[in-house]
Amino acid sequence: MFPAKPTSRFILFTLSLLLLISFFTTTTIAIASDLDTENGNDNDDVDNELDELLAIDQEEQEHEQDSQVDDADSKFSEAQVLSRAQRIVVELNTENWKKVTEGNEFVLVLGYAPWCPRSAELMPQFAEAATLLKELKCPILMAKLDADRYPKAAAALEIKGFPTLLFFVNGTAQAYTGGFSAQDIVVWARKKTGAPVMRTNTVNEAEEFLKKYQTFVLGMFKKFEGSDYEEFVKTAAADNEIQFVETSNFEVAKVLYPDIKSTDHFLGIVKSEPDRYTGYEETFIMDKILQFLNYNKFPLVTKLTDINSASVHSSPIKLQVYVFAKADDLKSLLEPLEDIARNFKGKIMFTAVDIADEDLAKPFLTLFGLEESKNTVVTAFDNKAISKFLLESDLTPSNIEEFCSRLLHGTLTPYLKSQPIPDNTNANVQIVVGKTFDDLVLNSHKDVLLEVYTPWCVRCETTSKQIEKLAKHFKGLDNLVIAKIDASANEHPKLQVEEYPTLLFYPAGDKANPIKVSARSSSKNIAAFIKEQLKEKDQSPKDEQLKEKDQAPKDEL
């Protein structure tokens, strides 16, 4: 159905209304004009203020428009990168994976799953790396496989976790050992395809290089020959993470490394941080240069991310200090932490972690029983001695520095988790915590049967019920303690357990050698074991007590 046509009466009414509006508008303008004439300078001031306000509004609008344009340009740029990368990166599937990996000399494959958050983080880095490698004319084919969609191809390529990077050379798979930022992937790929060192010959080339690389190793040689140069190139090929650049021109070297003094031959590392330049001063031997790089490639304080976590955790610096704090607090802590870190450079590695990032922070904080903490926490690890430490005093720069100094000199007391000391007055089963393990177990003059459990252990509940029955059965024996400890919340250096539940019998005369009792044994078998242990030590005083226990009703156990 179509709408009805307007009548002539309606048209006349509309025209009248328009004329009326026009009249009032003209009258208003005339009145405003008269008022302006009467008010004179007063209105001039008002007009000036209005002009200023309008100018400010226009400025803000222009700024907002510029900002929107910048954001749009940024998004457009990102979209361009991804769009171009989609054309560069080959999509693998069940039909083509073998042809692609075996039909090209170099192939880097990303195995991912659409639902995997880490895959989502790596995908844009991989795409950007593909674009950069294409621009650099690197002879490597970049490919990706949706392992969720093509499980047979994923199984054939042995992709078991996500994301996975695999490097193929003439069809043979090799492990990817580089980092996970776009630059890390580019550096690693170029080194593996025959370009371990970039050469810069002019100041312009050096300036362009600086726009692309924030961390790199500079080698300056008058001639690209000789044993020192050979060791430099060997090191560049052996290192998987850092871009190496070489030059024979001192002025070019000075652009890349302004602090350079030597005009003969030189090696130094450049980083994007306050302590930007570190020169190498030993003999040019590959192993020594690699060691120098491993100890100096990180910033004074490294911000832990998903992308750099593997590299941070594999650092050769065994003494490490971790600071967990909210992102805003980390910003204010950074400068004092850098000042402290500078005093321990090459000896202690400093890492900052956003405490709100559960994937990165929680695994560490759980080791201290602080997984729910929202406040700043300073911890340390000695990865050689497998020890951990917690700064329990006020978090002042002086206390943190003293904490680090004691870590370096080995005078810190290792931190062991412990629940608060419980009241065991009326308990059949004594609860042991980290702080009471020595007194109740190791230093006790009694035999101790200890159940080691965790709250998340499925079988522990059944064993705990058995222990309760045994405690009631043997109640009244002064020379026997039945106890339990939650290994998830309590630690002791003499308690090393790998499976849960675990039952340990600590004989009164030999606490250093506890006897492991099968947790799968029945209550009767465990009771028989305990009686046998007690009988072996002293027959006479316990005979009557044990005899009474033997006569106990069968259904008690």
Residue 278: partners with Cβ closer than 8 Å, 6 or more residues away: 268, 269, 271, 296
Q: In the annotation, is 404 catalytic?
A: no
pLDDT at residue 356 tops 70:
yes
Instruction: Assess whether 486 and 529 both reside in one domain.
Output: yes
The per-residue DSSP string of 353-399 comes to EETT-HHHHHHHHHTTT-TT--S-EEEEEETTTTEEEE--S---HHH
The total number of structural domains in the chain stands at 4
What is the pLDDT at residue 524?
93
Q: In which domain, by residue range, is 308 found?
A: 301-409
Interval 267-303: pLDDT, tens: 999 998 788 999 999 999 999 999 999 999 999 999 9
Nearest to 362 by CA among 384, 377, 381, 350: 377
Instruction: Assess whether 321 and 365 both reside in one domain.
Output: yes
Using the Cα atoms of residue 128, residue 134, residue 138 and residue 144 in order, give the sign of their dihedral.
positive
pLDDT at residue 82 tops 80:
no
pLDDT at residue 532 tops 60:
yes
Contact 246, 198 (CB under 8 A): yes
Mean pLDDT score, 93-117: 95
Residue 434 lies in a domain: yes
Of 409, 438, 453, the residue that ends a domain is 409
Mean per-residue pLDDT over the chain, rounded: 84
pLDDT at residue 3 tops 70:
no
Instruction: Assess whether 175 and 208 both reside in one domain.
Output: no
Residue 321 lies in a domain: yes
Mean pLDDT score, 88-116: 94
Interval 114-125: pLDDT, tens: 999 889 989 999
What is the pLDDT at residue 25?
39
Residue 532 lies in a domain: yes
pLDDT at residue 233 tops 70:
yes
pLDDT greater at residue 555 or residue 197: 197
Instruction: Assess whether 395 and 494 both reside in one domain.
Output: no
Instruction: Assess whether 240 and 284 both reside in one domain.
Output: yes
Longest dimension (CA), the chain: 126
pLDDT at residue 232 tops 90:
yes
List C-alpha distances in Å: 524 to 52, 298, 506.
94, 59, 19
What is the pLDDT at residue 509?
87
Q: What is the CATH number of the domain that holds 341?
A: 3.40.30.10
Catalytic residue among 110, 189, 304, 457: 457
Instruction: Assess whether 397 and 464 both reside in one domain.
Output: no
Dist CA 106 CA 120 (whole Å): 24
**What percent of the chain stands above pLDDT 90?**
68
Tokens 């954001």 locate to 71
Of 156, 188, 220, the residue that ends a domain is 188
Instruction: Assess whether 311 and 405 both reside in one domain.
Output: yes
Question: pLDDT grade, residue 39 (50/70/90)?
Answer: very low
pLDDT at residue 236 tops 70:
yes
Instruction: Assess whether 265 and 364 both reside in one domain.
Output: no
What is the pLDDT at residue 194?
83
Mean pLDDT score, 515-531: 93
Instruction: Assess whether 400 and 466 both reside in one domain.
Output: no
Contact 485, 436 (CB under 8 A): no
Dist CA 462 CA 236 (whole Å): 58
Of 140, 159, 188, the residue that ends a domain is 188
Mean pLDDT score, 247-257: 95
What is the pLDDT at residue 50?
44
Predicted model pTM: 0.66
Catalytic residue among 81, 88, 116, 477: 116
What's the helix, strand, coil split of the chain in %, to 5?
Answer: 45, 20, 35
Instruction: Assess whether 308 and 390 both reside in one domain.
Output: yes
Mean pLDDT score, 96-101: 95
Residue 59 lies in a domain: no
Token pair for 389: 């430490």
Residue 306 lies in a domain: yes
Instruction: Assess whether 366 and 448 both reside in one domain.
Output: no
Alpha carbon 550 to its chain's center:
58
Question: pLDDT grade, residue 347 (50/70/90)?
Answer: very high
Residue 105 lies in a domain: yes
Amino acid at 68: Q
Mean pLDDT score, 452-468: 94
Burial of 458 (0-12, 13-18, 19+ CB in 10 A): exposed
Task: Look up residue 322 and give its DSSP letter.
Answer: E
Residue 71 lies in a domain: no
Residue 546 lies in a domain: no
Alpha carbon 166 to its chain's center:
22
Interval 422-436: pLDDT, tens: 999 989 999 999 999
Dist CA 337 CA 323 (whole Å): 9
What is the pLDDT at residue 556?
52
Nearest to 361 by CA among 337, 336, 326, 396: 326
What is the pLDDT at residue 84?
52
Cα angle: 437, vertex 440, 442; to 5 degrees: 70
pLDDT greater at residue 555 or residue 92: 92
Contact 173, 167 (CB under 8 A): yes
Token pair for 206: 């050096």
What is the pLDDT at residue 550?
53
Mean pLDDT score, 46-59: 47
What is the pLDDT at residue 58?
53
Instruction: Assess whether 226 and 172 both reside in one domain.
Output: no
